[in-house]
Amino acid sequence: MKTMKGPGLFLAQFAGDQAPFNSLDAICRWAASLGYKGVQIPTWDDRLFDLRKAAESDAYCDEIRGVVRSHGLQITELSTHLQGQLVAVHPAFDEVFDGFAAPEVRGNPTARQAWAVEQMMMAARVSRRLDLTTSVTFSGALAWPFVYPWPQRPPGLVETAFEELARRWRPILNAYDEAGCNVAYEIHPSEDLHDGASFERFVDAVGGHKRACINYDPSHFLLQQLDYLAFIDLYHERIKAFHAKDAEFNPNGRVGVYGGYESWVNRAGRFRSLGDGQVDFGAVFSKLAQYDYESWAVLEWECCLKHPEDGAREGAPFIAAHIIRVTDKAFDDFAGSGADDGANRRLLGLQPAGKVE
């Protein structure tokens, strides 16, 4: 059995223009002071990281690694959530997602998609340079506007969407395979990969590609009312990353799963800081330990109420307290009889091996 690593911190929600959140060195010093052991780096935020420079320069990658290590931290994964989102965008979302892209490709969906693929390819090379075995991302979405089947979906619509999604992702998955790195998709509403069934559909479409994996985040499953523990039973072999994020679902006579276009604080389902929501993290960490999950537990802070710095401060000890140091002993070893094969056969009333009855 294996013990997971942690606590780690996803830096995306904390990066800002004011110290200590405006440089990798300063934000790593802050994270380490809170008890974090690793950081997940967003590759789109040039206040912290220059993806293109990292793809072109071993020296820059060594510099990044040195900055992180100087604070007693490790890089858990690179995040390409925003670039992955742009690999597949339905036209209805063109304008709202344009802000994720470089200015020179905005307003040009074809150029934007090519830019996103290039970004993903660079991130694969950088993951190899940094000796990382997993990267976290979004899948993007072509079929999401049709998630609720009204009016009735035309036959073949979903199949066509996933065939195209697979066509776009297969070269990226191959690049990550060459880099020795998994692509862990965050299974998330608004992505075509938003639950177990849609993830299975994608894996089938990419021919069972071994690098098509999962960034497990139970908060998104609780808000869908999906069994987030049974999900681990079903897909543990593909779970290669873990966002520890809490949520709560309190439906009433006004709002349910869909939220009624309300603000986050007024939705039935809303994200909360670790320990403030309804996710049973004791059970989650136990399930992951049961299946030998050995990668990182990374805090992703999203809360509609609590200040992010308080969420980060509370999150490190919460994760540390939930990581199970797995045992190399059986609890009843003290009662072992030291039996051998001969003894086992006698206990079963069988003749010694090789002896004809």
Q: How many CB atoms lie within 10 A of CB 330?
A: 9
Dihedral angle sign, alpha carbons of residues 319, 324, 325, 326: negative
Residue 291: which of 244, 240, 243 has the closest Cα?
A: 240
Q: Residue 356: its pLDDT value, please?
A: 60
Predicted pLDDT at 50? 98
pLDDT in tens, the chain (357 residues): 789 999 999 999 999 999 999 999 999 999 999 999 999 999 999 999 999 999 999 999 999 999 999 999 999 999 999 999 999 999 999 999 999 999 999 999 999 999 999 999 999 999 999 999 999 999 999 999 999 999 999 999 999 999 999 999 999 999 999 999 999 999 999 999 999 999 999 999 999 999 999 999 999 999 999 999 999 999 999 999 999 999 999 999 999 999 999 999 999 999 999 999 999 999 999 999 999 999 999 999 999 999 999 999 999 999 999 999 987 777 666 667 667 888 888 889 998 887 665
> What gap in Å lies between CA 36 and CA 7, rounded to an integer?
5
What pLDDT does residue 353 have?
Answer: 80
Q: Per the structure block, which two tokens stand in for 201?
A: 């559909």
Domain boundaries, the chain: 5-347
- Rounded Cα–Cα distance for residues 281 and 147 (Å): 29
b/e sequence 163-174, b meaning 16+ C-beta within 10 Å: eebbebbeebbe
Q: Which CATH architecture has domain 5-347?
A: Alpha-Beta Barrel (3.20)
